[in-house]
Chains A and B, each alone.
Chain A
Amino acid sequence: MSTPSDKLQEQPRFRWDLADLAPLLTLAVLIVFFSLTGRSFFYPGTVTQVLEQGAVMGIVAAGLTFVLLCGEIDLSVGNMALWTACLCGVMYELPWVAGKGGDKNVPSVLAVALVILLPLLSAIVLGWLSGVLTVSSRLPSFIITLSMMYIASGLALYLTKSEQFHIPWIIERLGNGGFSLSAKLKIPYSALLAGGIMLLSHLVLQYTRFGRYVYMTGGNREATRLAGVRTSRIVIACLALSAWTAGLGGLVNAGRLGSITLDQNADLLLNAVACVVLGGTSLFGGEGGIPRTIVGVLTLSVLRVGLDKIAWIDNYLRTFLLGVVLLGALVLNGFLARRRRTS
């Protein structure tokens, strides 16, 4: 008879197999492929480009990971990002913020903080509302967040009247600036922010009660409810969280582009969902996590940057190729995951 501590040690901590590694392998294969085919891919500057591409997607995908883990979906992330950025821009050009001197006036720190925080708060409120409606109406979050998607984009349209707005200097700096490590290699601030959010999300998911409840709610909602966990609150919190990260992503994206217009963030929703799922997080909840999402974000960014660097591809064909490679990777990952479950 072995003692309990013996038993603890004889069990492997992790069980790696092909399905776990598949997303990582996809990423490695892509990097090798592009390094061989694209002349200008294997350079430090590419790293900067990949990080810039991935930062916004990463921020949004982090929040979305929570939602997918608890078995729901948030379709409003793209337009939530747009709404947050638009509110920020419109508020920034209000007379009491901009001051009498117009563009040349330097606004106070308090005013800028308000201009950034209030839009983020509004995103949280809208996400919270999606959550409450999802839970109380017992409709799929698919439907509720679809409506919220229209509401957010409608609000943005009404507020901006399709005009262009300036943004606070600090956001522009966040979107474009970075630490220069060498002449070519720069670590963008936005990527640092994304990394910080990813790290925080990972710690929350792995080491807090809330994170455990998210996984268990996604794994089996009824069983978790019968264990006395208030699963509705978990769902609401996840949707609010996802709206917040979406808003943050929207601000960073606006900073990267230097101004706020209505045509931003159009493909953010699809990119973010693709990132999360590409990493191997289940659309049905309970399986996956932030490390997977990071792999997904990097894969998609590498794919986009890499395709741009292959000179002989017809410009109008790039999106099509992106779709084909994405499809292949997703089907392969899904196939391997299913094989693991049945074995």
Chain B
Amino acid sequence: MTATIDNVPLLACRGIGKRFGGAVALDGVDFDLRAGEVHGVVGSNGAGKSTLMKILAGAHPDHEGTIEYLGQRVALDGPAASLAHGIAMVYQELSGVGQLSVAENLFLGRQLTGPWGRVQWSTMYEQARKFLAEMDVEIDVRQRLDRFPLVIRQMVEIARGLHSGARVLILDEPTSSLSPPETRRLFALLGQLKARGVAIVFISHFIEDVLEICDRVTILKDGRHVATERSVDLDKHRIIEAMLGRGLAGQEIGYEHAVTLPPPTTVPPILKVNSLSRAGLFRQINLSLSPGECLGLYGFVGAGHQELAHAIAGALRPDQGTVSLLDQPLRGGDLHQAVQRGMVLVAADRAQTLVRSSEIYKNVTLAHLQGAIGNWLTERREMQCVQPLLERVLCRPARPRLLAGNLSGGNQQKVVLAKWLLGDMRVLILEEPTRGMDVGAKEEIMRLVTDLKNQGTAVILATTEPELALSHADRIMTFRRGEISGEFAGLGLDKQTLMKSA
């Protein structure tokens, strides 16, 4: 291992910086990559991992700093330039054209053609088969790509990168949606590629995976380089410490010291979830929730807790298991019934929760038209309903006739909450309620949620941000690969313990 690691860097980045408007995404980051190593990149959300990788992939030509490839300064001013320098990226959300065959995907954009542009199918199939066989993937390359499991699709994508002459492979969250045996298979392949001198950048939230496969690990925090160390010198505890900013970078942030979760409530539960499962997303989930309680569901992206939130609310049909509200079972996947009974969902993606092309007041009254306005809709009645609500949720500007799409993200979320405030709310299910918002809006939204909770609404808070869960949840369940990996209630809890449990 040491022989390959001590080679000259294949890729050396010095002082890489990038701003989006006023916000600094990356600030003077150094990063180097040697041939034949797997280099892990870790950091919390917003640490700058993906910005750095996008710069390497040529997506941000206007960055600061210099990049050297084999000692020569290069300008990665577009995806084509990066590919020409042998840098290939395999994205998390796949990748490849599902409707085309495996072979066509392997040769996407550079099909083998004979005279007059005739596609040489037989040669293409043969080469594709040979190439995948080298990676120990034995499949029928004439089949459609989307008929294969995710790991095969990922391997085809990797093969495509290598086949186009890549010497640097960037893998973004490659294991987040793979099962453990599939992960083993991917790691075996990465080992093989390493031996062939390919350099691999491995970005992941799964610190165990990073420690297992990587030779060196670079830790980023808030757009700055914290450390690059050999993984044999690291352990999970130290990586999390560095990601959270203790020790090396110095600057302290909240929730390193334990917050004390309140003692478990004795109020009888309003919501019971019984062995809820959905293939590939979550398995055998049991939980219960009492009025006036906030249950945090915490996990990394892809852990399944967000889909679970959707399934509980009836937006996603579970394969098996039941959700019952006040001891009466709900039909799985029947959102209308759930809403009528007072269980509502605020999904993370506001493109899915707001009719942006319609006025604010139409969005607010949408869910409870009959109860709040009646059968005959008049503008006056709607305005009388909506105006006080907009002021209560501090929507700015509080003008019901404005198009909802013209509001800022935080205010759009307030409109979504106002929609549910119009009717009875027994259970409020929130998925990433404050994603991408500034501090002020975040606070206003969470204060609304807290008010509701104090009035007796049961709240489920599904999030990938540990700070959010720690500051608002009374009880926290952590998720890992679709299963509950820990539950915390009535004791002291800090961010490190929480993240380690996920």
Whether the Cβ atoms of A4 and B391 lie closer than 8 Å is yes
Whether the Cβ atoms of A212 and B362 lie closer than 8 Å is yes
Whether the Cβ atoms of B366 and A216 lie closer than 8 Å is yes
Whether the Cβ atoms of A223 and B352 lie closer than 8 Å is yes
Whether the Cβ atoms of B401 and A220 lie closer than 8 Å is no
Whether the Cβ atoms of B345 and A220 lie closer than 8 Å is no
Knowing A8-B387, A209-B370, A227-B366 touch, does A286 contact B336 (C-beta < 8 A)? no
A228 on interface, CB distance cutoff 8 Å: yes
Interface residues of B in 362-406 (CB under 8 A from A): 362, 365-367, 369-370, 375-379, 383, 387-388, 391, 398-401
Knowing A4-B387, A207-B376, A224-B366 touch, does A230 contact B336 (C-beta < 8 A)? yes
Neighbouring B residues of A219 by C-beta, 8 Å:
355-358
Knowing A209-B369, A212-B369 touch, does A228 contact B358 (C-beta < 8 A)? no
Contact flags B340-370 to A (C-beta < 8 A → 1, else 0): 1000110100011111111000100111011
Interface residues of A in 203-231 (CB under 8 A from B): 206-209, 211-213, 215-216, 219-220, 222-230
Contact flags B146-181 to A (C-beta < 8 A → 1, else 0): 000000000000000000000000000000000000
B225 on interface, CB distance cutoff 8 Å: no
Please give the distance in Å from A68's CB to the nearest CB on chain B: 15
B315 on interface, CB distance cutoff 8 Å: yes
Partner of A229, one of B336, B352, B383: B336
A11 on interface, CB distance cutoff 8 Å: yes
B339 on interface, CB distance cutoff 8 Å: yes
Among residues of B, the one whose C-beta sits closest to the C-beta of A286 is B357
Neighbouring A residues of B355 by C-beta, 8 Å:
216, 219-220, 223-224, 286
B419 on interface, CB distance cutoff 8 Å: yes
How far is it, in angstroms, between the C-alpha of A225 and the C-alpha of B344 when the chains are bound? Answer: 12
A93 on interface, CB distance cutoff 8 Å: no
Knowing A8-B387, A212-B369, A216-B362 touch, does A223 contact B376 (C-beta < 8 A)? no
Whether the Cβ atoms of B352 and A208 lie closer than 8 Å is no
Contact flags B80-115 to A (C-beta < 8 A → 1, else 0): 000000000000000000000000000000000000
B335 on interface, CB distance cutoff 8 Å: yes
Knowing A216-B362, A219-B357, A220-B356 touch, does A226 contact B315 (C-beta < 8 A)? yes
Please give the distance in Å from A281's CB to the nearest CB on chain B: 13
How far is it, in angstroms, between the C-alpha of A225 and the C-alpha of B338 when the chains are bound? Answer: 12
Neighbouring A residues of B398 by C-beta, 8 Å:
7
Knowing A11-B399, A209-B377 touch, does A227 contact B339 (C-beta < 8 A)? yes
Neighbouring B residues of A213 by C-beta, 8 Å:
369
Whether the Cβ atoms of A220 and B357 lie closer than 8 Å is yes
Give the contact-size bracket for chain A: 20 to 34
Among residues of A, the one whose C-beta sits closest to the C-beta of B341 is A228
Among residues of A, the one whose C-beta sits closest to the C-beta of B315 is A226
Whether the Cβ atoms of A209 and B375 lie closer than 8 Å is yes
How far is it, in angstroms, between the C-alpha of A286 and the C-alpha of B403 when the chains are bound? Answer: 13
How far is it, in angstroms, between the C-alpha of A287 and the C-alpha of B362 when the chains are bound? Answer: 13
Most buried by B among A212, A227, A229, A286: A227
How far is it, in angstroms, between the C-alpha of A208 and the C-alpha of B365 when the chains are bound? Answer: 13
Whether the Cβ atoms of A229 and B376 lie closer than 8 Å is no
How far is it, in angstroms, between the C-alpha of A85 and the C-alpha of B112 when the chains are bound? Answer: 58
Whether the Cβ atoms of A11 and B401 lie closer than 8 Å is yes
Whether the Cβ atoms of B369 and A223 lie closer than 8 Å is no
Please give the distance in Å from B426's CB to the nearest CB on chain A: 14
Knowing A7-B399, A220-B355, A220-B357 touch, does A228 contact B367 (C-beta < 8 A)? yes
Please give the distance in Å from A235's CB to the nearest CB on chain B: 14
Partner of A228, one of B339, B347, B354: B339
Whether the Cβ atoms of B358 and A227 lie closer than 8 Å is no
How far is it, in angstroms, between the C-alpha of A227 and the C-alpha of B418 when the chains are bound? Answer: 12
How far is it, in angstroms, between the C-alpha of A226 and the C-alpha of B345 when the chains are bound? Answer: 7
Please give the distance in Å from A340's CB to the nearest CB on chain B: 11
Partner of B387, one of A7, A207, A286: A7
Neighbouring B residues of A206 by C-beta, 8 Å:
377
Whether the Cβ atoms of A212 and B352 lie closer than 8 Å is no
Interface residues of A in 129-177 (CB under 8 A from B): none
Partner of B358, one of A211, A222, A286: A286
How far is it, in angstroms, between the C-alpha of A228 and the C-alpha of B339 when the chains are bound? Answer: 6
Neighbouring A residues of B338 by C-beta, 8 Å:
228
Neighbouring A residues of B401 by C-beta, 8 Å:
11, 13
Please give the distance in Å from A76's CB to the nearest CB on chain B: 28
Whether the Cβ atoms of B377 and A220 lie closer than 8 Å is no
Whether the Cβ atoms of B387 and A222 lie closer than 8 Å is no
Most buried by A among B353, B357, B387, B391: B357
Knowing A7-B398, A207-B376, A223-B352 touch, does A287 contact B335 (C-beta < 8 A)? no
Whether the Cβ atoms of A208 and B367 lie closer than 8 Å is no
Please give the distance in Å from A256's CB to the nearest CB on chain B: 36
How far is it, in angstroms, between the C-alpha of A306 and the C-alpha of B55 when the chains are bound? Answer: 62
Knowing A8-B383, A8-B387, A209-B377 touch, does A226 contact B335 (C-beta < 8 A)? yes
Knowing A216-B355, A219-B357, A222-B352 touch, does A228 contact B335 (C-beta < 8 A)? yes
Neighbouring A residues of B383 by C-beta, 8 Å:
8
How far is it, in angstroms, between the C-alpha of A208 and the C-alpha of B378 when the chains are bound? Answer: 9
Please give the distance in Å from A339's CB to the nearest CB on chain B: 16
How far is it, in angstroms, between the C-alpha of A220 and the C-alpha of B340 when the chains are bound? Answer: 21
Partner of B388, one of A4, A208, A220, A228: A4
24 contacts between A and B (CB under 8 A): A4-B388, A4-B391, A7-B398, A8-B383, A11-B400, A13-B379, A206-B377, A207-B377, A208-B375, A212-B365, A213-B369, A215-B362, A216-B358, A216-B362, A216-B366, A219-B355, A220-B354, A222-B351, A223-B352, A226-B345, A226-B352, A227-B419, A229-B336, A230-B336
New A-B contacts (14) at CB < 8 Å, excluding given A7-B387, A224-B366, A226-B352: A4-B388, A11-B400, A11-B401, A207-B376, A208-B376, A216-B362, A223-B353, A224-B355, A227-B339, A228-B344, A228-B367, A229-B366, A286-B355, A287-B357
The 4 closest A-B pairs by CB, nearest first: A228-B339, A219-B355, A227-B367, A220-B355
